[in-house]
Amino acid sequence: FLDKPVDLEIIRRVMDTARWAASGCNYQPWEATVVTGQPLKDLQAKITTTPPQQLEYDWDAPKSEDAYKERLHGVSKGMFDALGIARDDGAARMAAMGRNATSFDAPAVMFVYFPRLMKEPQWSDTGMWLQTVALLLREEGLDSCFQEFMAYYANVIRDHLGLDHERYMLFCGMAIGYRDPDAPVNSFERERVPLDEHVKFLGF
């Protein structure tokens, strides 16, 4: 991200519109805190000096099937190739991934959480809301990066935001700012599964 602050009024406008994202039973499970400035720097200092905790949910389960593992390896290879990091350079790879801790220098980060009583349908609703936020940010000329990485620091983040550990699940972070057009990681080619491999059409 560029070293360029984001305007509060733009963020408020985006979040106000995103309230109308689809929500089963109108539960609207998503909650969030958008952090910038010194409060964000203070939180990032805690994250970078705290060992990661055990995850409270599992995002790696799909790797148990080869097809999904290959998709992961493909995007990882593209990213590290763009960064000029060799496969056997473990230290450089760890350093690159470690930049998640400071949200790749984004000027603002949204931390997303919801009550633990929310189940799979409400997690899905939260994903739709996040996608809505991301698209609205693009409409405003801003960019974002979803960060499930932040789940490694759920306790630190909950403490910093004053959230009840027993009540709230920390879901993810979303880095918000202006992309650096010269950063290779922002322009490498991503692959997607061909349409006919995952969508069927009947009765047309």
**pLDDT higher than 90, residue 62:** yes
pLDDT band at 164 (very low <50, low <70, confident <90, very high): very high
CA distance 204 to 197: 18
pTM (2 decimals)?
Answer: 0.94
CATH ID of 8-58+101-189, from 1.10.3720.10, 3.40.109.10, 3.40.50.300, 3.20.20.100: 3.40.109.10
- The pLDDT of 160-189, averaged and rounded, is 96
CA distance 132 to 181: 23
Predicted confidence at residue 97, as pLDDT, reads 87
- The pLDDT of 147-157, averaged and rounded, is 97
Reading the block at residue 197, the tokens are: 């491999």
Alpha-carbon distances, residue 107 vs 40, 131, 147, 169 (angstroms): 8, 20, 15, 24
Predicted confidence at residue 131, as pLDDT, reads 98
